[in-house]
Amino acid sequence: MDKNTRICIVGGGPAGLSAGMYLEQKGYENYTILERLDRVGGKCWSPHYNGRRYEMGAIMGVPSYYAVHDVEEFCGITHDGPKLNRNYKNGEGKVIEPFEPKKNILKIPRLLRMKKQLKKFGELLETKYKGYDVNGHRGVAEGRYDGFSQQNAKREPISGENPNLKDLALPFSEFCKLNGIELIQDIWIGPYTSFGYGYFDEIPAGYVVKYLDFQTTMNFVKVNLWTWKEGTQYIWEQLNAHLKNPARLGSRIDKVERRDGKVYVTVNGAEEEYDKIIVTAPLYIPNKRADGQIGMVDYFDTRDDERELFSKIDYERYDVLAVETKPEDHPEISYYVFDNMVPSRLGHLMVYYRRWKDSVDQVITTYALRKHKKSKEIPYEDCKKMVLDDLKTMKNPASNVVNEWSVYYFPHVFSEDYAAGWYDKVEAMQGKYDTYYAGEIMSFGDMDETAEYSRELVERFF
């Protein structure tokens, strides 16, 4: 492709900014990043409170976040934030240690079985499911893998046939049952469901194991975590500052028309002409959102194949509250509440974070899901009340709500569409209308997977 190609990137989150970085590194400098908000970072949002930043979105990373590390190196920054740790409580607010045999003598047989199943799972991923950990989902429904390995920072291209990969279309709970490893869900649920990515009986295993590949999960288990003093948003603020073409904030895209080999984008009432467009913003949002955010199908000259495929996308209703507490009620550490990470406890508090250990004059952040494939969606205000009531049960009552956020979160497709080759059909459309599709839906909803997919997209097509 001509290095002077005029490229429009929709979205100034990790996927869009990373696309700009990788394009720039390949010699493409005629790109424009359009961001509708007055800030960059997308779901990496780190507001200020009492002189420090707290997290309303992404909280942490791990050493296997290779794309994030690319950004750090590009910007000359590093993960310099507070060391995080956590403990556990049951639904009644009692502190528990679910993985410590000495504290759970009656559970020792179960914990021993879990340990054996964990070892088995690691072996299965390396053998039966070889190729499971390439970025994205291309080829999985056809029993093949084709992408960049995530085994190490080199991320070398690999491809091959593996019919067993078709199992990744199963809901993760069924996938675990098929392989006799049901108990490993007790380990994976902490960094998965509590982070807002849905429940194991509804989400295809492909999402779970590609996000929480074995080494990433073990980093979470061992609390081998990265944080940033100025928050995860700082990573993307720094990237934006180091790009030759920083994102244009406050860019309202009214219309996109693709005709005669060109892309015409109407931004804040003025038409701009490009040769190619990369969409990292949502492709489809079912139902009208209170914040007015819409999907690509609503402002593009959407084609029938785009509309048909993108209408299969659903997303999680994942809510975050930042709350103050009285000093005597401030939690001494972050807590996970496993009892609330099941569909029957939909809407309840699953985890709450204390980011700064040296001060009680900071907020804590709470997280809850209020949607399940088979259940009626819980209204936002009802969920908020449940979470505040749960904090009382946890003996860490809130004295005030400082901030709240209900964001478009973790776009995905369900097992039937995953198995029917949804991803291969979308991948076959890459570039078809001078349009490329990236962002969360094409890989996964965390900052590293989305940035990594942008890297792959640039390598494949530019």
- H/E element, 424: helix 422-428
- DSSP label at 368? E
Write the pLDDT tens digit of every residue in 147-195. Answer: 998 888 889 999 999 999 999 999 999 999 999 999 999 999 999 999 9
| Burial of residue 381, with CB atoms counted within 10 A of its CB: 0-12 exposed, 13-18 middle, 19 or more buried | exposed
- Residue of 8, 7, 33, 4 lying closest to 246 (CA atoms): 33
Task: Give dist(CA 366, CA 270) in Å, integer.
Answer: 41
DSSP 8-state secondary structure symbol assigned to residue 174: H
Local confidence pLDDT in tens for the 462 residues of the chain? 899 999 999 999 999 999 999 999 999 999 999 999 999 999 999 999 999 999 999 999 999 999 999 999 999 999 999 999 999 999 999 999 888 887 778 889 999 999 999 999 999 999 999 999 999 999 999 999 999 988 888 899 999 999 999 999 999 999 999 999 999 999 999 999 999 999 999 999 999 999 999 999 999 989 999 999 999 999 999 999 999 999 999 999 999 999 999 999 999 999 999 999 999 999 999 988 888 899 999 999 999 999 999 999 999 999 999 999 999 999 999 999 999 999 999 999 999 999 999 999 999 999 999 999 999 999 999 999 999 999 999 999 999 999 999 999 999 999 999 999 999 999 999 999 999 999 999 999 999 999 999 999 999 999
Per-residue model confidence as pLDDT tens digits over 134-147: 999 999 999 999 99
- 3-class DSSP assignment, residue 147: strand
Task: Round to the nearest angstrom and report the end-to-end CA distance of the chain.
Answer: 6
Report helix, strand or coil for 281. Answer: coil
Distance CA 232, CA 84 (A): 14
Local structure of residue 248 (DSSP, 8 states): B
What pLDDT score was predicted for residue 421? 98
Closest CA to 322 of 381, 407, 403, 386: 403
> Can you read off the two tokens belonging to residue 270?
């003025």
Q: Yes or no: say if 318 and 349 are a contact pair by the CB < 8 Å rule.
A: no
Specify burial of residue 275 (Cβ count, 10 A radius: 0-12, 13-18, 19+): middle
Question: Please, what are the domains in the chain?
Answer: 7-45+230-313+413-461 (3.50.50.60), 102-217 (1.10.405.20)
Which of 437, 415, 139 minimizes the C-alpha distance to 303? 437
**Burial class (CB within 10 angstroms; exposed 0-12, middle 13-18, buried 19+) of 343:** middle
Number of helices (H), then strands (E), in the chain: 13, 18
Q: 200: closest CA among 224, 173, 222, 226?
A: 173
What pTM value is reported for the model?
0.96
